[in-house]
Structures are given as structure tokens and as C-alpha cells.
Amino acid sequence: MPVHEKNYAELLSMLKPYRATLVAVSKKKSVHDIQALYDLGQRDFGENYVQELLEKKDQLPDDIRWHFIGHLQSNKVKQIIAFIHLIHSIDSLSLMKEVDKQAKKINMQTNVLLQMHIAQEETKFGLDQYELENIINNEATSLTHTNIKGLMGMASFSDDIKKIQNEFSGLSAIFEKIKNKVPGCSILSMGMSGDYTIALESGSNMIRIGSLLFGSRD
């Protein structure tokens, strides 16, 4: 069985009270496995690498909503801009400007999430509070082809539940502050296979799940 059907059904049931969206993280998973989950009704899939996404996209149904959830290099933006449903990982003003530039070239509106650095780990990407406020207060109005739909964050890889709760709660508080300032800002993307229950309790309305659906990646 390429996908865990029981886990999928349980996740969908669990998400209903939260009105949260499930993004299936399909990086390093085969087209066959993605198709199997698609056949169960899943439409939102998240990929981390541009080249892998491009290779899969042409082999799968057109109504899949592709989310880009990995670190995005500016020189790769133009390769996905025409079809990407949501970019979760805007982690710098320069990247956001490049997305806007490429979207403008093809007269499209691109939906993005601003990725905040909330984990106590240097390896994580993301904006700090000052950078976030600068984008929202000073830059967003001039970026006419980019729609800020919300925030994304990744908690520390830790067994310390309190630490994870604090990181998610902190991001949720920031989200509550900015959502009324930014038209259409409604998505708080946080929570993965190991911490999604904490994320949902902390206010997440979009979770990114891989191993629970497909098994561990190699």
C-alpha cells in the first residue's frame, strides 16, 4: 500500500473542527504514490525542490494544487510562477520582489506566505519581526502581483512540548496582529507530522504532513 489510507482518513476527520487544510508533503515520493493519495480525494500537495516538482507536475492531474514549501532560490522562481498555488517560504524581501517581478511578467497574481523564523535553530530560514513589519508596512503596497495570504513557521525539532507550544503560540499571536492589516491574510501554516496536534491547538489552519501519509522518506 503506497499511502496510509487509515491515517489519511483520521487526519481529515481531526481537521474538520479546526477548518484546517491538509497539505500532503510529497517530496521524494513517486508519482504513483501521489496519484494514490489523489485518488482518495487529496488535492493539496507540497514540494520542496523545484526540479522535482516540475518533473512530477506533468505526469499528474491538472487540478492538483501545488504548494512550494521548501527554501526557494530567486533564480528558480520563474520556473514555477505560472502554476504554483501557494508559496509558503517567502523568507526575504528580495525573494518576494522576485516573485512579484516574475508574476507581473505573465500578468498573474501569486499567493504567498511569509515564513517567520520561530525555531531556536540557526539552520531554519525565515523573517524576523522587524523584516516582517517592514514588508507589511512599507513594501507590500508596491508589490502589485503578490498576495500575502498569511504566515508560515516551523518549530524546533525538540521533545520539549512546552518549547514547541511557545514557538507556535508566538507565531499565532503575530498572525492575529497582522491579519487585519493585510487584506486577504487568512492562513497560518504551521505543524508537521511530529507536532501538528500542538500546532492546531495553537491556531494553525494549514498543516504540512508527509511521513504520516506516505511513511518515512529515505
Give pLDDT tens digits for 152-191: 999 888 888 999 999 999 999 999 999 988 989 999 999 9
Instruction: Decide: 34 and 63 in contact? Cβ < 8 Å.
Output: no
pLDDT confidence band for 62 (50 / 70 / 90): very high
65 within a domain of the structure (yes/no): yes
203 within a domain of the structure (yes/no): yes
Max avg pLDDT among 63-67, 131-135, 193-197: 63-67
HEC secondary structure over 107-176: CCCEEEEEEECCCCCCCCCCECHHHHHHHHHHHHHHCCCEEEEEEEECCCCCCCHHHHHHHHHHHHHHHH
Using CA atoms, how far apart are residues 168 and 26, in angstroms rounded to an integer?
A: 23
Using the structure block, give the residue that is written with the C-alpha cell 489552519: 205
Using CA atoms, how far apart are residues 89 and 68, in angstroms rounded to an integer?
A: 7
What confidence score (pLDDT) does residue 119 get? 82
218 within a domain of the structure (yes/no): no
Contacts of 152 (CB under 8 A, 6+ apart): 69, 88, 89, 113, 114, 115, 116, 189, 190
214 within a domain of the structure (yes/no): no
216 within a domain of the structure (yes/no): no
Instruction: Decide: 145 and 104 in contact? Cβ < 8 Å.
Output: yes
% of the chain at pLDDT higher than 90? 84
Average pLDDT of the chain, as a whole number: 93
Contacts of 7 (CB under 8 A, 6+ apart): 212, 213
Greater model confidence, 158 or 216: 158
Q: Provide the domain count of the chain.
A: 1
What confidence score (pLDDT) does residue 125 get? 80
Is 0.85 surpassed by the pTM of this model?
A: yes
Instruction: Decide: 179 and 136 in contact? Cβ < 8 Å.
Output: no
Q: What is the CATH number of the domain that holds 191?
A: 3.20.20.10
Q: Residue 33's domain spans which residues?
A: 5-209
